[in-house]
Amino acid sequence: MDWQITIDCHSPSRMVRFWSEALGYEPAPPPVGFDSWNAWYISVGVPEDELDQDGDGTDRIVDPEGRRPRIWFQVVPETKAIKNRIHLDLFVGGGRQVDVEERRRRVDGRVAELAALGAGVLRTTDEDGAYFVAMTDPEGNEFCVA
């Protein structure tokens, strides 16, 4: 079975830039025979006014090692209105076997990098040996850095 993660959004180009960096992924190349995703979309009948106007139509990212799932950023007209029912957790701290001060240093460093890319900080949880930061991507989707 093959599968991917699909994230609704307004600007695939912005999401591709952010999440490629956040996850260590790469923008997916267009299908063979096409020099851009927009060219491929036009070939399958997508009207030009529905194409990504911020870039060449690149709206998906892939793990360069091919181990993790593909992610597609699907354009939708509505804005995000409620909390995500599913979110990603980015594990950068090393887990509870790592001293909590070191975990804080690692998590806070990654949080600062992601904030510089356009993420927002929702809250920090630092209790009972747990340390993680809830964040939002550039379009408001929640994720955690732990």
pLDDT tens across the length of the chain (146 residues): 889 999 999 899 999 999 999 999 999 999 999 999 999 999 999 998 888 777 889 999 999 999 999 999 998 888 888 888 899 999 999 999 999 999 999 999 999 999 999 999 999 999 988 999 999 999 999 999 99
Residues 108 and 52 occupy one common structural domain: no
On whether residue 81 sits in a domain, the answer given is no
Q: Is 35 within the bounds of a domain?
A: yes
**What does the block give as tokens for 32?**
């063979």
Q: 93 and 68, same structural domain? A: no
Specify the residue for token string 């993660």: 5
Scan for tokens 């957790």, then name that residue. Answer: 89
Give the residue numbers spanning the domain of 26. 4-75
What is the separation, in whole angstroms, between the first and last Cα of the chain? Answer: 30
* Same domain (yes/no): 112, 64: no
Residue 114, SS3?
helix
What size, in residues, is the chain? Answer: 146
- pTM of the full structure: 0.90
Whether 83 is in a domain gets the answer no
82 falls within a domain: no
Q: How many helices (H) and strands (E) does the chain have?
A: 3, 8
Q: How far is residue 123's CA from residue 3's CA, in Å, rounded to a whole number?
A: 31
Q: Are 101 and 51 in the same domain?
A: no
Q: What is the pLDDT of residue 36?
A: 94
Domain shared by 11 and 68, yes or no: yes
Residues 66 and 124 in one domain: no
What pLDDT score does 84 carry? 87
Write down the pLDDT at residue 83: 86
| The predicted structure's pLDDT at residue 80 | 85
For the chain, the domain total comes to 2
